[in-house]
Structure 1
């Protein structure tokens, strides 16, 4: 299972319909939080996202992307959390987050480790990541360091060719199981069958790319190549193209052009200006004119990311 839950899809400030930035990715029982804007913990409660987090990833440190971590840490402490919490962000993360952790509490009753991340880093975790990696890539937002993140699964084993196995005279049962585990088997006729004889080439895992705030840039195209899901900011529509450029943001059309160039399979737009809070139909229309499989995310939206066949 690989599922994305949008906790906040508004730019700069919350509205009645949308909270500020927050995104949870669920994979095989693990939940990763990307951004933690004001009110994120309430959104987690509202949409059933577990507080059993081990890691939070920040793209940059404008207020609408991190202020919620203050309340979240306090709540985790009140719940008696003993496990460490790992926070990641670009240069400046240690100063900003260390200050945030000291607000409103005498002490944090569980360990917190802050790691400053550079574009190009593959992020290490306390426990080895099981079947996936997280990479940071450069973005172009302005006003301080900013990065995006890619969650990339490892390759999957190839398909087991049932017809070929039967043609080779391999009886169904334990021998099939050994082959799928990568073990050679020996048949009663003296023949040795290797896994490569009945298992096809490795298949790619899934890839989710998340930009945070950014202008459209080549680094996103590179990072999101072939992405199963690209989550790209789209603060403005085309009528505000100059404003998007001047403030380090993207229009929906520009985000769609990035999705097209990266050969992404699906595009979800987030971080939309309050002017589109009630209806973002115009943003969706502008994006789909360039990249048909585009939608504007909404708070509470849950999206499954399937394997490509």
Structure 2
């Protein structure tokens, strides 16, 4: 699992930063990647990255401001021309369905894959045997959501030395025990799966927020997450401006991370006024409250480490 930041700027693109888009790669887990927001020019950013649109499985939109959605029509159209034939599901606030359908219809764009559009509310928006995704409303000028992605615990590893001691060699019985199925040997010995399989490996939790001022929704979503991606449009000295425009400062994002007890904080949606050395100053400001904080830049990646069993 890895976060790849395709666009980290706020409002409009600059020479250093494109507008918002984040990819969550899950190639080992699902053979695909997910995308969060799709600002203008995102498909160009994808072309400069290792990503392939044919592997895009799900796309989550936080809110309907242009710097988060203007790249959608082009990217959805290009996916067809880049070998994307598997179905794609898009999640977003009410209005996203009308925006996509109108854009695609008026431009006479064609897709050779099934596009499912789900307009979300607070609560669980997706769940399967591997992962669940829940959404909460944030505090912005329009409806803006944050997403909490929770990986479910993985099966423990087989205690192979113990199995060898029982005279069981690698083969079909290993697979059955690994899946939690008790087995009976030819001599009538009953092997209980729980006795020969280690404890489950806890899943990871990633939280990605849309634009927001500090809010109850942010804190609730972020609780004890492995990584929190939080906007930090302004430095703390511009806190009045941040409040007026429904954005957050570096220290406000860091304070959320402290209170939520997250492990890592990544700041994005950076105002164009913080060019060159400005990002380092923002990072230092956040680290004064939360040491494990980073300011993302375009094409920067962050690997989410697998938890140890002791972290259950």
Same fold (TM over 0.5): yes
Task: Give the aligned length.
Answer: 301
Q: CA deviation at 1:161?
A: 4.0
Q: CA deviation at 1:245?
A: 1.2
Look up the match of 2:57: 54
What does residue range 92-241 of structure 1 map to in structure 2 within 5 Å? 92-103=95-106, 105-110=107-112, 111-123=114-126, 129=128, 131-142=130-141, 144-162=142-160, 165=163, 169-174=166-171, 175-186=173-184, 190-241=188-239
Structure 2, unaligned runs of 5 or more:
none
Residues 200 and 92 of structure 1, relative CA distance in 2, 3 Å threshold: same
Change (3 A) 1:80 1:170: closer
Aligned twin of 2:70: 67
Match of 2:275 among 259, 274, 277: 277
* Residues 130-174 of structure 1: per-residue CA shift (max 9 Å, x gap): 6112221221112x211111221111113444565567x354534
CA distance in structure 2 between the aligned counterparts of 1:172 and 1:82, rounded to whole angstroms: 42
Check 1:24–1:130 CA distance in 2 against 1; reply closer, same or farther (3 A cut): farther
Distance 1:164 1:296, change over 3 A: same
Shift of 1:239: 0.5
Using the TM superposition, give the Cα deviation of residue 39 of structure 1 relative to its aligned residue in structure 2, in angstroms. 0.5
User: Out of 240, 247, 260, which is 2:245 matched to?
Assistant: 247
Distance 2:159 2:111 in 1: 53
Determine which of 254, 258, 261 is the counterpart of 1:260.
Answer: 258
Q: TM-score under structure 2 normalisation? A: 0.88
1:123/1:136 contact within 8 Å kept = no
Query: More displaced, 171-180 or 37-46?
Result: 171-180
CA distance in structure 2 between the aligned counterparts of 1:246 and 1:255, rounded to whole angstroms: 16
Q: Tell me how far apart the structure 1 counterparts of residues 45 and 90 of structure 2 sit (CA, whole Å).
A: 19
Deviation of 1:31 after TM superposition, in Å, equals 1.3
Q: Is the 8 A contact 2:60 2:90 kept in 1?
A: yes
Stretch of structure 1 that moved more, 243-252 or 221-230:
221-230
How far off its partner does 1:49 sit? 1.4
The alignment yields a C-alpha RMSD, in angstroms, of 2.2
Gaps in structure 1 of 5+ consecutive residues: none
Paired residues of 2:77 and 2:111 also in contact (CA < 8 A): no
Matched position secondary structure for 1:209: strand
Aligned residue number for residue 9 of structure 1: 8
